Amino acid sequence: MSFKFVVAIGYSEGGLEPLQIFFNHVPHDEATYIILRHIPIGQRGALSEILQKHSKLRILEAENGMLIENDKVYIPPASSYMTIKNDKLYLRSRVTENRNYNYSVDVFLESLARANSVRSIAVILSGGGFDGAKGALLIHEAGGMVIAQTPASCTRPEMPQNAIDNNCVDQILSASAMPDAILQHINPILKNFNQVRRLME
């Protein structure tokens, strides 16, 4: 029986450094990580190579129809919006939609709220604009967890601040404190699930 926690991390300007700090503190913790960042269409970032220096987890570029696994990190191509359904990732072209603004965080979080409800965790790091605020609210309404970076620690505080202003953020934390907060959230739910599963066997 599948019971995957999905941690979706959205960021834009100023978010790379807190992202690295975040993964410096991530253990093998029975979760899947999705990174949603703003990057121009046609540009290939070096995020996988950079992040691998800060994480023990395997980092993969997402492919259409890819089945997610625990303790892995998935990064969508810059030219795509990504969604999730039935533990699979799906890509669609961003080129044919809106080239002027990137809604990659909201697009994924909306699908995650529908697909994973209480097993969804949204993390909003530094960045400009409103992307992520709507999606974070949907995660919150579905019973998932929402964490925002402390705005005072951000290069650009708009993304986390807009989520906070939506009254949907459960915790406002430094990047280094986020992985432990996620563990504290996951463990009781996972323990209860395992107890129920044993009773059904």
Quote the domain boundaries for residue 65. Answer: 5-200
First to last CA, the chain: 11
Band of the pLDDT at 201, cuts 50, 70, 90? low
Residue 20 buriedness (CB in 10 A; 0-12 / 13-18 / 19+): middle
> Residue type at 21?
I
Q: What is the pLDDT of residues 66-100, one digit of tens each?
A: 999 999 999 998 888 999 999 999 999 887 665 56
Taking residues 131-137, what's their average pLDDT?
97
Provide the whole-model pTM: 0.91
Catalytic position from the list 106, 131, 140, 185: 131
Active site residue 12: yes
Domain CATH number, residue 71: 3.40.50.180
How many of the other CB atoms lie within 10 Å of CB of 130?
Answer: 17
The predicted pLDDT at position 68 comes to 96
At 52 the pLDDT is 85
Mean pLDDT over the full length of the chain: 89
For residues 8-14, give the mean pLDDT.
96
- Structural domain count, the chain: 1
Q: Can 106 be counted among the known catalytic residues?
A: no
What is the reported pLDDT for 188? 85
* pLDDT tier for residue 199 given thresholds of 50, 70 and 90: low
How confident is the model over 112-136, as a mean pLDDT?
95
Active site residue 185: no
